[in-house]
Chains A and B, each alone.
Chain A
Amino acid sequence: MSDGAAAPGRFKKPVKVTIDGREITAEAGLPLLQVALDNGIEIPHYCYHPKLSIDGSCRMCQVKIEKAPKLAIACNTPVADGMVVDTQADEVAFARKGVMELLLVNHPLDCAICDQAGECYLQDYSSGYGSQESRTTSPRRKGLKRHPIGERVIFDQERCILCRRCVRFTKEISQTDELRVFGIGDRSHIGTTAERPLDNDYSINTADICPVGALLSRDFHHKRRVWFLQEYESVCPSCSNGCNVKLGIYQNEIQRLLPRRNDAVNDTWMCDHGRLNYHFVNDETRVRTALVRDADAAFATTLDAALESAAERLRGAIAAHGASAVGVLGSPHLTNEECFRLVQLVKAIGTPHFDMVVPMGTSDDFLIKAEKAANARGARAVGVAPGEGGKDARAILDACTSGELRVLLVVGSRDAALVLGESGIRDAAAKLDALIVVDANRSPLTDAATVVLPGLVWAEKDGTLTNHAGRVQRIRKALDAPEGLIPEGALFPRLAQLVGRAAAPPAFDAAATLRELAQAVPEFAGIGFETLGSLGLELTQQIPASAAAAAEPAPVQA
């Protein structure tokens, strides 16, 4: 993203440097601090961030370099051949202690009420390199507390150490320039002008990169101590960019999403919408039991009974009108493995009318993509598309309102409901013999459905998602599903079996399904849980041109 003073890749010549007696080969021109960190040598730092330009304002990363007249900051010193560096010298320790003392002169030390406590660089370095006692007697300077600096971010001026990471972020990454340093000398402070609060689409990233508790996410404010969170590596489900995230879980509830570094996808950033879009997992719209509608009254039933009821209606329609009286709408929110099982179910039913509705929205030239579903690209690759002579999504929905189709199976109903509209849903419900909906959350379509089969949300299942560029990335089960519910990947084969057109399925196992998928779909060749790692892999083949036209994202801004 950002080109610092020494961008990696511009210099190719390797140089040899010695840090703490270890000889290290590195690319010339890389910051000494980055070389040290890459080689597992800790140098404390606040203002340096690998994805931002170099500022050199915190002075914490000072090291002793042989033949240099005085200590130098490691972040703004490019490595050079023959450089001998000492990070453990007495004068380095003395300098760090001095820096810590100055940073803490006006720090309020309100760790007990600070959300950053536990992942605060000031705490860590104070215990590691600072002094245990304060020598100041004058009162600490007062500043703004809990200042609403933006719609989603809270600012605490007293805690700020003026590292200017946030200022550089709004300048270089979000390019919105809301944050500035105002005042001079010891009166300088971070702020916004009155008419421009910090409310860009990426504003909560400033809370992530803030090394102290000065900028905080309002969503996570006073919510949960970070040391109680269990973190799971996952992928953001809110658009097709597939930003890598960490889920913070406490007692089977998502507390927050944090971006996870993946230079091929999202560097270390994510958008605010994606970060805050997790409340659907556990809100009042969640479908927790199977429903079967009989004479206008929906009643909750067991999953088995609902599956049997759905299968009976499918069987009936196939027997009376043939398989092409059944329409199936898949979902771009499903994992690759579940899409694969859905394709098998559709093949078992034998209908060509199979497609999906991909929700579209706004996009920008950075991370936010127009396709508001995580796996549209993967679903297409696996084969969620009309068969020979089959209708596409729009035509399937029209055929429902016109009465051409007798039974509609919808997976992930919200987007289809939006396409149909209120009157469309009424017409479809009146004309169809049965409307079978598989979804994790309520929508106008589940309200009108004959049979509702509860699904799971992305945080409750294992699997892989394919982003807009064809990168297959792993999601992990971080939450226990509501009692009695099974993943869609297990639901579809059971339905296929009950319709009477498939053998009894083995228990759903995402890893095994992906192996099967990799053999069946050439694009997925070589992709498996063991090869994906935490950063994912690109699909082996290029997107077919027709599918690419719809999926083509705006190029990521360089």
Chain B
Amino acid sequence: MATNVVKVDRAALKKAGGAFGIRALLVGLSVTSRHFFRNLFGWIIGKPQVFTVMFPEQDIAKPPSFRGMPVLVQMDNGKERCVACGLCEWACPVDCIHIVPGETEDAIERYPKIFDIDMGRCMYCGLCEEACPEEAIVMSSRIEISAFSRAGTIWHKSDLLVPVDELPRRLDYVRLGYQR
């Protein structure tokens, strides 16, 4: 395999930049300063030139392929779509999902009595969503999981439910996977 060897004349470089690299330092500082002043004036006149979002006041539209917190899809009747089949619990590589199944009198007889996700453990891999046969758990665009205690990072079923109307883009994206 041919390799491209670049010869660097270190002595010449040193001579051009001064003994302590002062020239390189000044070049770097000038780039930083240029951006600082441009942004400062841009911000003052209301036309910022760079991509900076004032989180959490501002947010960006994430693409449907974005994998944030996994959430449970809530049907129009207010109930979860999940039937506690346990496949996400099994697929989860970090064991952050805990489900206790229960029985209802509804036509769909099985539901999760308890559905907990330890967000502190979740690694947002999306395998739960991939394993789900009911399109009941999807990766949302939510990313705010901070809490004041370890117990606070465990999200319960009521926290996880998101109405199906808020998730159409992600559900469409999930369905793309069926054709693969």
Q: Given A111-B133, A112-B133, A112-B134 in contact, is the A225-B86 Cβ separation under 8 Å?
A: yes
CB distance from A413 to the nearest CB of B (A): 34
Chain B residue nearest to A226 (CB atoms) is: B86
User: Which one of B7-15, B65-73, B103-111 is at the interface?
Assistant: B103-111
**Contact B133 A113, beta carbon cutoff 8 Å:** no
**Contact A228 B101, beta carbon cutoff 8 Å:** no
Q: Given A112-B83, A112-B85, A112-B133 in contact, is the A222-B90 Cβ separation under 8 Å?
A: no
**Contact B110 A222, beta carbon cutoff 8 Å:** yes
A145 interfacial contact with B, CB 8 Å? yes
A221 interfacial contact with B, CB 8 Å? yes
A-B contact count (CB 8 A): 35
**Contact A221 B133, beta carbon cutoff 8 Å:** no
A146 interfacial contact with B, CB 8 Å? yes
**Contact B109 A222, beta carbon cutoff 8 Å:** yes
CB distance from B115 to the nearest CB of A (A): 14
A223 interfacial contact with B, CB 8 Å? yes
**Contact B110 A228, beta carbon cutoff 8 Å:** no
Q: Given A111-B133, A227-B90 in contact, is the A222-B102 Cβ separation under 8 Å?
A: yes
Residues of B within 8 A of A486 (CB): none
Residues of A within 8 A of B85 (CB): 111-113, 117, 225
Query: How far is A111 from B132 in the complex, measured between Cα atoms in Å?
Result: 12
Question: Beta-carbon contacts of A215-237 to B below 8 Å, as 1s and 0s?
Answer: 00000011111011000000000
Query: How far is A274 from B165 in the complex, measured between Cα atoms in Å?
Result: 50
Residues of B within 8 A of A228 (CB): 86, 89-90
**Contact B86 A222, beta carbon cutoff 8 Å:** no
Q: Given A112-B83, A112-B85, A113-B85 in contact, is the A221-B90 Cβ separation under 8 Å?
A: no
Interface residues on B, range: 10 to 19
Residues of A within 8 A of B103 (CB): 221-222
Residues of A within 8 A of B110 (CB): 112-113, 222
Q: Given A113-B85, A113-B108, A227-B90 in contact, is the A222-B134 Cβ separation under 8 Å?
A: no
- Partner of B90 from the list A112, A113, A146, A225 (CB cut-off 8 Å) is A225
CB distance from B67 to the nearest CB of A (A): 23
Residues of A within 8 A of B87 (CB): 112
Chain A residue nearest to B85 (CB atoms) is: A112
**Contact A145 B109, beta carbon cutoff 8 Å:** yes
Chain A residue nearest to B101 (CB atoms) is: A222
Interface residues on A, range: 10 to 19
Query: How far is A228 from B133 in the complex, measured between Cα atoms in Å?
Result: 18
Identify which of residues 70-126 in chain B touch chain A, using a CB-to-CB cut-off of 8 Å: 83-87, 89-90, 101-103, 108-110
Identify which of residues 74-125 in chain A touch chain B, using a CB-to-CB cut-off of 8 Å: 111-113, 117
CB distance from B64 to the nearest CB of A (A): 25
CB distance from A226 to the nearest CB of B (A): 9
Give the interface centre of B86, B102, B108, B133 by most chain A CB atoms within 10 Å: B86
**Contact B109 A146, beta carbon cutoff 8 Å:** yes
Residues of B within 8 A of A221 (CB): 103
Residues of B within 8 A of A117 (CB): 85
Query: How far is A146 from B104 in the complex, measured between Cα atoms in Å?
Result: 11
CB distance from B92 to the nearest CB of A (A): 12
Query: How far is A227 from B90 in the complex, measured between Cα atoms in Å?
Result: 8
Query: How far is A224 from B98 in the complex, measured between Cα atoms in Å?
Result: 12
Query: How far is A227 from B86 in the complex, measured between Cα atoms in Å?
Result: 9
Residues of B within 8 A of A145 (CB): 109
Q: Given A222-B101, A222-B103 in contact, is the A113-B86 Cβ separation under 8 Å?
A: no
Query: How far is A223 from B113 in the complex, measured between Cα atoms in Å?
Result: 11
CB distance from B138 to the nearest CB of A (A): 16
Residues of A within 8 A of B86 (CB): 225, 227-228
Residues of B within 8 A of A224 (CB): 101
CB distance from B15 to the nearest CB of A (A): 70
Query: How far is A111 from B90 in the complex, measured between Cα atoms in Å?
Result: 15
- Partner of B83 from the list A113, A146, A223, A227 (CB cut-off 8 Å) is A113
CB distance from A284 to the nearest CB of B (A): 20
Residues of B within 8 A of A223 (CB): 101
Chain B residue nearest to A221 (CB atoms) is: B103
Query: How far is A256 from B123 in the complex, measured between Cα atoms in Å?
Result: 33
Chain A residue nearest to B113 (CB atoms) is: A222
Question: Beta-carbon contacts of A249-285 to B below 8 Å, as 1s and 0s?
Answer: 0000000000000000000000000000000000000
The 3 closest A-B pairs by CB, nearest first: A225-B86, A112-B85, A113-B110
Beyond contacts A112-B87, A113-B108, A227-B90: 20 other A-B pairs, Cβ-Cβ < 8 A, are A112-B83, A112-B85, A112-B110, A112-B134, A113-B85, A113-B109, A117-B85, A145-B109, A221-B103, A222-B84, A223-B101, A224-B101, A225-B85, A225-B86, A225-B89, A225-B90, A225-B101, A227-B86, A228-B89, A228-B90
Q: List 10 A-B contacts (CB under 8 A).
A: A111-B85, A111-B133, A112-B110, A112-B133, A112-B134, A113-B85, A117-B85, A222-B101, A222-B110, A225-B101
Interface residues of A, Cβ cutoff 8 Å to B? 111-113, 117, 145-146, 221-225, 227-228
Interface residues of B, Cβ cutoff 8 Å to A? 83-87, 89-90, 101-103, 108-110, 133-134
